[in-house]
């Protein structure tokens, strides 16, 4: 009897448990159906809002293809990967600072690399003199061994002629000079009737000599005892005259050729060449020697025009590199400023404009940023998440401009939670 009663009690208890479990399952199913209906209602309302605002999802450059469930921000004060936001104003300031520094370096390198000379007048003078001595053969008239210059000489008494050249060069600006000179004897046999040349030949009495003068403005050339074998040249002229039976007018021209040239043409350009000539008649019984130094006894002036001079090739290369960097930063600055004053709007501006225009009824513009440290900040990856949240909580979507034309924040505050969606121009430009 007791066994039967215990069995009935156990069966009753089991049926009671099954009845309660069935009721719980029915309640859970009913709640699930209600949630599905609520979700369908939210979706219908969202679609109705989109249709009313005329927004086409294909036009929106929102990064919505990949949806991630909400994630908590580790530090509410940080809203970038590095924890520091490089704002639009900071970008402009950085560009201006770099351009200023590069410009200072560029100007300094230009001064170190190049120079411009001033226009100036440089005067130089030349002065020359010739002295000669006529050494005589033994004779019954002249007691001295030689005769001085500026006399008439008997050709048959001439043994040797010795010439002294004296040349002075003066310039009013010190410089490094290359002085080149040589002495040449030139035999000329010409027609007595019209002066046409029958024969001419040059003889080098000295080798061409070059002298380097450093940081000077004065030079003196003094060549003494240049020997002339008068009989040698006179016999050549006489043989030509007798062999060819022509009337000739022959002479020997002994000339000092001298030239000056400054080494550093960046200072001023000097290139001067002149000669001093002593003329000795040949095939004559009476010899009258003359000399010509008119072209060399004078004063001349050089006009040194302004020049652009490269002083240091290293600084020249550096200035070119700095100029390229300045151009690069100027282009970057112009690109950033075009976002503010340009007529063409950026992707960021177009996107923000579409959001504000399409969801104007549910977005509130705020002037003050929320104190994120007071909330549990949850970052969302797309604007649609905020719309769904607003529909579920009836809380408005707040819009705050962090940096004009560069960064904005959309957020919904629900109790202690702050749901944050951030839009940055740098992300949309990628």
Q: How many domains does the chain have?
A: 3
At 153 the pLDDT is 94
Q: Are residues 10 and 75 in the same domain?
A: no
Low-confidence ranges of the chain (pLDDT < 70): 1-88, 264-270, 294-295, 304-305, 336, 338-344, 430
From 275, 306, 337, the end of a domain falls on 306
Structure tokens at 132: 């000669």
At 66 the pLDDT is 35
Q: Are residues 10 and 144 in the same domain?
A: no
Torsion sign (Cα): 373, 376, 379, 380? negative
- Residues with Cβ within 8 Å of 389's Cβ and at least 6 positions away in sequence, in order, are 380, 395, 412, 414, 419
- What does residue 26 show for φ and ψ, rounded to 5 degrees? -65, -40
Report how far residue 205's alpha carbon sits from residue 182's, in angstroms, rounded to the nearest whole number: 8
| Domain span at 411 | 55-79+345-428
Q: Are residues 70 and 40 in the same domain?
A: no
- Residues with Cβ within 8 Å of 120's Cβ and at least 6 positions away in sequence, in order, are 268, 303, 304
Q: Are residues 191 and 261 in the same domain?
A: yes
Report how far residue 422's alpha carbon sits from residue 314's, in angstroms, rounded to the nearest whole number: 49
Q: Are residues 266 and 382 in the same domain?
A: no
Report how far residue 316's alpha carbon sits from residue 319's, in angstroms, rounded to the nearest whole number: 5
CA distances from 11 to 8, 18, 25, 281 (A): 5, 11, 21, 165
Q: Are residues 5 and 136 in the same domain?
A: no
At 154 the pLDDT is 93
Structure tokens at 186: 């030139």
At 120 the pLDDT is 74
Q: Please choose, from the candidates 166, 168, 274, 167, the residue with its C-alpha nearest in 3D space to the C-alpha of residue 217.
A: 168
Domain assignment present for 35: yes
């Amino acid at each position: 009897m007791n066994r039967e009663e215990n069995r009935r009690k156990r069966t009753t208890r089991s049926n009671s448990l099954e009845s309660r479990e069935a009721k719980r399952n029915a309640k859970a199913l009913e709640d699930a159906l209600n949630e599905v209906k609520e979700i369908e209602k939210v979706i219908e309302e969202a679609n109705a809002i989109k249709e009313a605002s005329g927004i086409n999802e294909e036009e929106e450059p929102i990064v919505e293809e990949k949806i991630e469930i909400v994630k908590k921000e580790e530090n509410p004060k940080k809203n970038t990967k590095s924890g520091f936001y490089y704002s639009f104003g900071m970008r402009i300031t950085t560009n201006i600072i770099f351009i200023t520094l590069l410009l200072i370096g560029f100007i300094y390198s230009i001064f170190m690399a190049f120079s411009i000379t001033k226009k100036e007048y440089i005067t130089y003078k030349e002065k020359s003199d010739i002295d000669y001595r006529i050494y005589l053969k033994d004779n019954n008239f002249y007691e001295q061994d030689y005769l001085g210059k500026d006399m008439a000489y008997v050709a048959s008494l001439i043994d040797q002629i010795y010439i002294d050249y004296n040349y002075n060069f003066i310039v009013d600006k010190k410089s490094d000079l290359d002085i080149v000179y040589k002495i040449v004897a030139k035999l000329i046999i010409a027609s007595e009737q019209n002066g046409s040349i029958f024969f001419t030949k040059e003889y080098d009495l000295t080798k061409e000599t070059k002298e380097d003068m450093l940081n000077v403005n004065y030079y003196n050339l003094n060549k003494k005892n240049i020997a002339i074998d008068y009989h040698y040249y006179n016999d050549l002229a006489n043989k030509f005259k007798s062999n060819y039976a022509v009337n000739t007018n022959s002479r020997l021209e002994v000339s000092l050729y001298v030239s000056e040239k400054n080494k550093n043409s960046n200072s001023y350009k000097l290139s001067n060449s002149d000669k001093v000539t002593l003329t000795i008649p040949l095939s004559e019984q009476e010899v009258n020697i003359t000399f010509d130094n008119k072209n060399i006894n004078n004063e001349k002036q050089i006009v040194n025009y302004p020049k652009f001079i490269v002083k240091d090739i290293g600084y020249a290369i550096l200035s070119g590199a700095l100029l390229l960097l300045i151009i690069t930063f100027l282009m970057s600055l112009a690109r950033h400023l075009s976002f503010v004053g340009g007529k063409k709007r950026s992707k960021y501006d177009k996107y923000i404009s579409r959001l504000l225009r399409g969801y104007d009824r549910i977005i509130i513009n705020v002037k003050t940023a929320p104190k994120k440290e007071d909330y549990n900040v949850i970052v969302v990856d797309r604007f649609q998440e905020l719309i769904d949240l607003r529909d579920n909580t009836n809380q408005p979507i707040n819009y705050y401009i962090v940096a004009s034309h560069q960064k904005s924040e959309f957020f919904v505050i629900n109790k202690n939670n702050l749901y944050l969606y951030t839009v940055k121009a740098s992300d949309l430009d990628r």
